[in-house]
Amino acid sequence: MPFPPTASRLSGVLIAGLAAWAFAGPVAAQESATDEEEAEAVIPFALPQSGPFTPAEIDIDNDQAIADWFRSAHANAAAEAFRHWDDDGEIRAACATCHSGEGFRDFHGLDGTEAGVVDGTIDVGGVVDCGTCHNSGLADITEITFPSGLVHPVQGVEASCLTCHQGRTAGIDVTEATAGLPVDEPNAELRFINPHYATAAATWLGGYGAAGYHYDGRDYSGRFFHARPVASCNSCHEPHTLEVEFEPCLTCHQADAPEDIRIARQSYDGSGDTSVGIRSDIEANADRLMDMLVAYTQEVAGAPVIFDGTRYPYFFSDANGDGAIDMVDGAPVVYGDWTPRSLRTAFNWKLVTADPGNYAHNPQYSLELLYDSIADLSGPLGIDMDALGLLR
């Protein structure tokens, strides 16, 4: 039976072990650390080796652009522009081009289908998504056709802007609808022709784009060329928020906001007030035109009209002249007593007012359309244009 170890024997073992470690331990440890570092250096990791992680810890290079877009009107999935077809469960082909990214890509053939047409209906729920403007195929689109028939050259993302902000109809549609008809005689076959909404591109191209109804013998300002380098939509609008970058305007204009910029030293609305932005003149003349249109339907056409901008087609009957829209079976009666004269003035009024940025996109063209439409109604209403003090 072996004797238990004595204290001296234990001490000897410990001392021998420590000596061995002192001789070889640090070298072995260093070699082991080096091996681990080399192994770690060659192992690729898509994500860090430990977690959990939160989305905020993962860097996204374009996260600000995405956030800006998400808060913009283009991404507002709750807006009428994208919800209008919910009850139908699908977006009509005629509307899908501009009311869904999928429809836009279909129309331009960016999804591999035939260009120039939307192949059937498009599912609801889409918006103007990233692929609408960030598609490599946009580089192959060199021209856009406008409702007037104009074929306009484009480059890159201009194709997106000009496709969807050109309106759906043009003055030529009014001309064709009223051709050969007595100018002041109501015609039950005439219907209001809607230029559509957010018609910035149509306004911008002016007389060159021929969006408005052009009166015979009148010249109209063409595309609005601003000061360089302002030459495209993105020159003024931040492409993701869509907001106007006002600071560059201050290089040439003294104003507190874009709406306050005045581009002329004369008054166009007869007020003589040149201390306000040109938008004020456009709005005043638009209001005057609407008042004259209502007066014309009462005094000349003999069929009063009421405008309601909250529901299509906006113009409704007031046969008894009581100031209230006529109702039948709980539904408003659509105005059906258009004359060629009232139809063309209503079209120009709607085109100008459908673009809330008309004062920046092409103020001259907007004022010309309003002036000529006011002059058109002044004759049968017996109004002296000179007395109004308007300028064209």
Q: How confident is the model at residue 35 (pLDDT cuts 50, 70, 90)?
A: low
381 and 296 Cβ atoms separated by less than 8 Å:
yes
> Above 80 in pLDDT, residue 11?
no
Rounded mean pLDDT, 97-106: 97
Tokens 């907007």 correspond to: 366
Q: How confident is the model at residue 45 (pLDDT cuts 50, 70, 90)?
A: low
Q: How far is the C-alpha of 148 from the C-alpha of 176, rounded, in Å?
A: 12
- Kindly report, residue by residue over 79-101, the tens digit of the pLDDT: 999 999 999 999 999 999 999 99
Q: How far is CA 353 from CA 284, 348, 359, in A?
A: 11, 9, 10
| Residue 87, both tokens | 């009850």
- Kindly report, residue by residue over 111-152, the tens digit of the pLDDT: 999 999 999 999 999 999 999 999 999 999 999 999 999 999
List the end-to-end C-alpha distance of the chain, in Å, as a whole number.
126
Distance of CA 140 to the CA centre of its chain: 22
Q: How far is the C-alpha of 47 from the C-alpha of 40, rounded, in Å?
A: 14
253 closest CA partner among 245, 266, 263: 263
By three-state DSSP, how is residue 315 classified?
strand
- Kindly report, residue by residue over 221-252, the tens digit of the pLDDT: 999 988 877 888 998 999 999 999 898 899 89
Query: What was the pLDDT predicted at 54?
Result: 75
Higher pLDDT pick, 45 / 191: 191
> Above 60 in pLDDT, residue 29?
no
301 closest CA partner among 350, 333, 342: 342
Higher pLDDT pick, 2 / 69: 69
104 closest CA partner among 130, 71, 72: 130
- Kindly report, residue by residue over 250-309, the tens digit of the pLDDT: 989 999 999 999 989 999 999 999 999 999 999 999 999 999 999 999 999 999 999 999
Q: How far is the C-alpha of 391 from the C-alpha of 284, rounded, in Å?
A: 12
A 10 A CB-CB count for 354 gives 19
Query: DSSP states of 186-231 as a string?
Result: --TT-------S--HHHHHHHHHHT-SPPPTT-----S---STT--
Q: How far is the C-alpha of 178 from the C-alpha of 280, rounded, in Å?
A: 32
> Above 90 in pLDDT, residue 36?
no
Q: How far is the C-alpha of 281 from the C-alpha of 363, rounded, in Å?
A: 9
- Kindly report, residue by residue over 193-224, the tens digit of the pLDDT: 999 999 999 999 999 999 999 999 999 999 99
Query: What was the pLDDT predicted at 42?
Result: 58
Q: Which of 16-30, 109-123, 164-178, 341-355 has the lowest mean pLDDT?
A: 16-30
Query: What was the pLDDT predicted at 44?
Result: 57
Query: What was the pLDDT predicted at 41?
Result: 59
- The domains of the chain are located at 64-140, 165-302+337-388
Q: How far is the C-alpha of 232 from the C-alpha of 260, rounded, in Å?
A: 21
361 closest CA partner among 161, 134, 154: 161
Percent of the chain with pLDDT over 90: 79
